[in-house]
Amino acid sequence: MSNLQAINKIAAEVEGQRNSEYSVSPLFLNRWSTRAFSDRKISDQDLYTVLEAAHWAPSSFNDQPWRFIVAKTEEQLSVFHQFINEFNLTWVSSAPVLIVVASDKLRANGDPNGAHAFDAGAAWASMAIQATMLGLFTHAIGGFDRNKARQMLNIPENFELHAVIALGYQGDKSVLPEAIQQREVPNTRRPLNELVFEGKIE
């Protein structure tokens, strides 16, 4: 399946659920966070294409503070499952790849980097869009034990842990618990005029 075919396939799922007020690439509408993951494996080529996109995100002073800890083998995934909270584990356990996104709070000279979290967010967004282009899905998870993850993954104290990203192909929502199945639709957004202010906040 080509990238364009993958995008068009996803577009059919969001049609009627999402409409933009202004013309944007369908990529932005088609990207949504599924909880129904297939256990179909992702090729290393696709995985590292997604990570390469994140690698090229913009960052303050080009510090590139982000770090990605990847779990793709059964052994690695079992470790990650130990620090994800129980609710999220009910659906994320079938995802074939999990990625912890962290960022260095310090610059190379030891000064605080006030932009590290902002920059890591740019990298995550790049990752999500590239995944959509490949017909893959992502879901960022905040519900995990950061202290346990830090200890189990040997992450230094100067790194802040932001999210666990589930990456994979979309699965059948019937495998999800019934309460979660009802939420398995692309969500919408607030009107743009509630979020954008010209000159000052009114």
42: which 2 tokens?
């992702």
Continuous H helices in the chain? 3-14, 26-30, 44-55, 74-81, 86-92, 116-133, 146-153, 178-181
Amino acid type, 175: V
Q: Do 103 and 73 share a structural domain? A: yes
> Do 84 and 1 have their domain in common?
no
Give the model's pLDDT for residue 5. 59
Residue 151 lies in a domain: yes
Paired strand residues for 166 = 98, 139
| pLDDT, tens only, 138-179 | 999 999 999 999 999 999 999 999 999 999 999 998 888 888
Return the pLDDT at 53.
98
- The count of domains in the chain is 2
Q: Is pTM, for the whole model, over 0.75? A: yes
Q: Are residues 5 and 88 in the same domain?
A: no
One domain for residues 98 and 109? yes
| Nearby residues of 30 by Cβ (< 8 Å), 6 or more positions away | 7, 10, 11, 13, 14, 132
Q: Are residues 21 and 70 in the same domain?
A: no
Residue 11 domain-assigned?
yes
Domain limits for position 58: 33-180
Residue 14 sits in the same domain as residue 49: no
DSSP H helix total and E strand total for the chain = 8, 4
Rounded Cα–Cα distance for residues 183 and 202 (Å)? 34
Does residue 5 sit in the same domain as residue 46?
A: no
User: Is residue 62 predicted with pLDDT exceeding 60?
Assistant: yes
- Both tokens of residue 22? 């202004």
Instruction: Report the C-alpha dihedral over residues 100, 132, 121, 195, rounded to 10 degrees.
Output: -140
Q: What separation in angstroms does the CA of 75 have from each of 25, 38, 96?
A: 38, 18, 12
Shared domain for 108 and 119, answered yes or no, is yes
Q: Hey, what are 189's tokens?
A: 């957004």
Q: Are 44 and 172 in contact (CB under 8 A)?
A: no
Burial category of 117 from C-beta neighbours within 10 Å (exposed 0-12, middle 13-18, buried 19 and up) = middle
- The model's pLDDT over 6-45, given as tens digits with 9 standing for 90+, comes to 555 556 667 667 888 888 888 898 898 999 999 999 999 9
Q: pLDDT, tens digit, for every residue of 78-137?
A: 999 999 999 999 999 999 999 999 999 999 999 999 999 999 999 999 999 999 999 999
| Kind plus residue range of the DSSP H or E element containing 182 | none
Q: How far apart are the first and last CA of the chain?
A: 48
Q: Which two tokens stand for residue 18?
A: 């999402």
182 — pLDDT class (breaks 50, 70, 90): confident
Domain contains 192: no
Whether the per-residue pLDDT at 4 is higher than 60: the answer is no
